Amino acid sequence: MSESHLYTYGIIDDNESLALNVDGVAGATRAYTVSYRSLSAVVSDIETTDPERTDAAVEAHNTVLQAVLEHDATRAVVPMSFGMAFKNARTLKGVLRGARRALRSTLTEIAGTVELGVKVLAPGDDTAVDTAAVRSDVTARLSALSVGETENDCFTDRLIINKSYLVEHDTRDAFDAAIDEIDAAHDDLTVRYTGPWPPYNFVDIHIGAEQAQQGGR
Amino acid sequence: AQPDSSGLAEVLDRVLDKGVVVDVWARVSLVGIEILTVEARVVAASVDTFLHYAEEIAKIEQAELTAGAEAAPEA
């Protein structure tokens, strides 16, 4: 019997241990936590440390994180990028320990918030749209209801706004309502409202390894 | 309106391009590795916080023994 490796989805505060029956990456049916002190990684068992990057696998990664958010909507989750599989609990705990200060301060920064995505698209025909006016109207309304925002790439000319907002749980109903108002005020535009997401666009952590004898810092 | 979290393009944008990245050597083997480098950027409250750490991990084995006593048994 080969040793099971651990696929990681995200890092949470370890206020309670978590076990969820959910379809994960590479056929997993159960997600649970591996903890180092007060930090817990949400994981599932996997046979490889190099999982295949398919659309289905990426969707499964998201499905597990969505299940964690649904389990407790107020829980802060630091999301992992796709494919972060560890050899075993020992290596995972070693990384949790080594990155504990960064992980803990990130969890503190994002506590009580979720990410929401907003895309606004111009009509596909030649209808003239005052994009500057739309931008200032929409972003002013949504900035007032969020605690953070990032500008994402407007990859087509039709895309007038492509932003992610970090929104506190208490403000989510107001944010939903603001989206409705924007939709109503700009009848000719398409508004795509997505989430809630773990704060993917508000967290950027890279953990590397160095051998000290090769001139480590 | 309620937001939707099922669109594949939105999921791919986030799960593939964003999120915590751990170098393969830190994931599969800590043998011969003595330092973990951690670079973190948190974008919240309109303030960018940059954190840089280099943590020595030589003591992990010892810490592991201590932490192992209170951790859940492994499968």
- Record: contact A101-B51, CB cut-off 8 A: yes
CA distance B20 to A200: 9
Q: Which residues touch B7 (CB under 8 Å, ≥6 apart)? A: A192, A194
A74 interfaces chain B, CB cutoff of 8 Å? no
Amino acid identity at A137: D
- Record: contact A197-B12, CB cut-off 8 A: no
Residue closest to A24 by CA, chosen among A40, A34, A9, A11: A9
B24 interfaces chain A, CB cutoff of 8 Å? yes
User: Residue A8: which H helix or E strand, with range?
Assistant: strand A5-13
Digit-coded pLDDT (tens) for A167-185: 999 999 999 999 999 999 9
Digit-coded pLDDT (tens) for A31-84: 999 999 999 999 999 999 999 999 999 999 999 999 999 888 778 999 999 999
Domain residue ranges of chain A, discontinuous segments joined by +: 3-108, 112-195
CA distance B74 to B27: 17
Digit-coded pLDDT (tens) for A137-152: 999 999 999 999 998 8
Write out the two tokens for A155: 């990859």
- Record: contact B28-A86, CB cut-off 8 A: yes
CA distance A156 to B20: 28
What ipTM does this complex have? Answer: 0.90
| pLDDT, mean over chain B | 71
Contacts of A169 in chain B (CB under 8 A): none
- Whether B71 and A35 have beta carbons less than 8 Å apart is answered as yes
Specify the CATH number of the domain A112-195.
3.30.70.930
Amino acid identity at B3: P
For residues A127-134, average pLDDT: 85
Residue A112 C-alpha from the chain's centroid: 14
CA distance B31 to A130: 59
Q: Cα distance from A66 to chain B (closest Cα, Å)?
A: 8
Q: Which residues touch B41 (CB under 8 Å, ≥6 apart)? A: A204, A205, B48, B49, B50, B51
Q: Looking at residue A2, what is its pLDDT? A: 53
DSSP A173: H
Torsion of CA A6, A10, A15, A21, to 10 degrees: -60
Contacts of A95 in chain B (CB under 8 A): 22, 26-27, 36
Digit-coded pLDDT (tens) for B37-49: 888 876 654 455 5
pLDDT value at A216 more than 50: no
Digit-coded pLDDT (tens) for A73-119: 778 999 999 999 999 999 999 999 989 988 998 898 889 999 999 99
Q: Give the per-residue SS3 of A10-23.
A: EEEECCCCCEEECC
| pLDDT, mean over chain A | 90
